[in-house]
Structure 1
């Protein structure tokens, strides 16, 4: 374990014993990472805000049960991921039929508007972001955890609650889709 990992676990254990300063330190250290993950995963600021607050509420509620078996970041992202999955499940029934086709058409529109010329670094990053946004939920989550959070396959498996091979498969399919979209 590296020093930051040990420090996070120590801070969480101190918070469980009533040290509010320890929670403030954890919050300051991980709030940006958590919020970026949620916002990129769900693409809706209002939903990301709600999930962000609920994730920290769950951390607070679980403080006395916390056991440093995995990295704090992995545990935090696992809570956020589970809330995100619940959010997808609540939202999914409304996206069938014409509403689903409309949502898909709206997601595809920005990529089709890109000009076919040499792109600046900013434009290339924006195209990649758009391509990631168009991935299926499970693939998008795996890509964001890998690229932005720099988690290993095992850590992504822990966060998402699936096997390592499933994570590899999701990443492989996602990367193939991204390559196809970016080649257009």
Structure 2
């Protein structure tokens, strides 16, 4: 079901929040916090940096809430802010590539689970996926992360990244082919 058609879809919640309903913001935050964080961490691979960027994005959302228009889907608006924040970060870093997952992040992931064997397997699979993502050209990686974590349609990914729907479709197709080949190897 389309979120905009739901009684508490993102757009309805955004309008309520703009009208002063703090609980509407809490609902938006709860709905988007994990996918947004995963999207950011998928780009930078550093948990502390991802947390910093995450906070910056939400601060920008709060500061810009009056600039949001009901004709723009909230998710696309949110990920556009995140995309721009990442662009600012990479410009400041002179396009330094993301660091691989470090031992502390893997240990923390293991400690958070009940079944160490299963969690170790999940951590290894996740690390393989991120290594494969790191090998993608930046445009393909971003399209995959927006689709995977933002669950955005092709048109919205195109608006965020400044390209057409067919270009997004091609990037995703090539990225999936590369990922499949890398993960099957």
Per the normalisation by structure 1, the TM-score is 0.74
- Report the structure number with the largest CA radius of gyration: 1
**Greater CA deviation, 5-14 or 121-130?**
121-130
Distance 1:5 1:78 in 2: 24
Q: Contact (CA 8 Å) 1:78, 1:159: kept in 2 or not?
A: yes
CA RMSD of aligned residues (A): 2.6
Match of 1:180 in 2: 181
Runs of 4+ in 1 over 4 A off after TM superposition: none
Partner SS state of residue 65, structure 2: coil
Name the SS of the counterpart of 1:67 in structure 2. coil
- What are the ranges of 5 or more consecutive residues in structure 1 without an aligned counterpart? 96-102, 108-119
- Contact 2:41/2:47 (8 A) holds in 1: yes
Matched, 1:161 2:177: no
CA distance in 2, matches of 1:46, 1:156: 26
Pairwise CA distance, 1:5: 8.2
Which residue number in structure 2 is paired with residue 49 of structure 1?
51
Contact kept, 8 Å, 2:75 with 2:152, in 1: the verdict is: no
- Does the 8 A contact of 1:43 with 1:133 survive in 2? no
CA separation of 1:149 and 1:72: change in aligned 2, threshold 3 A = same
Aligned match of 1:116: none
Secondary structure class of the residue paired with 1:15: helix
Match of 1:170 in 2: 171
Tell me the equivalent position of 2:66: 64
Give the distance between the partners of 1:30 and 1:173, measured in 2 at CA: 27
Structure 2, unaligned runs of 5 or more = 101-119
**1:47 shift after superposition:** 2.0
Q: 1:154: Cα distance to partner?
A: 1.1
Q: d(CA) in 1 for partners of 2:125 and 2:23?
A: 41
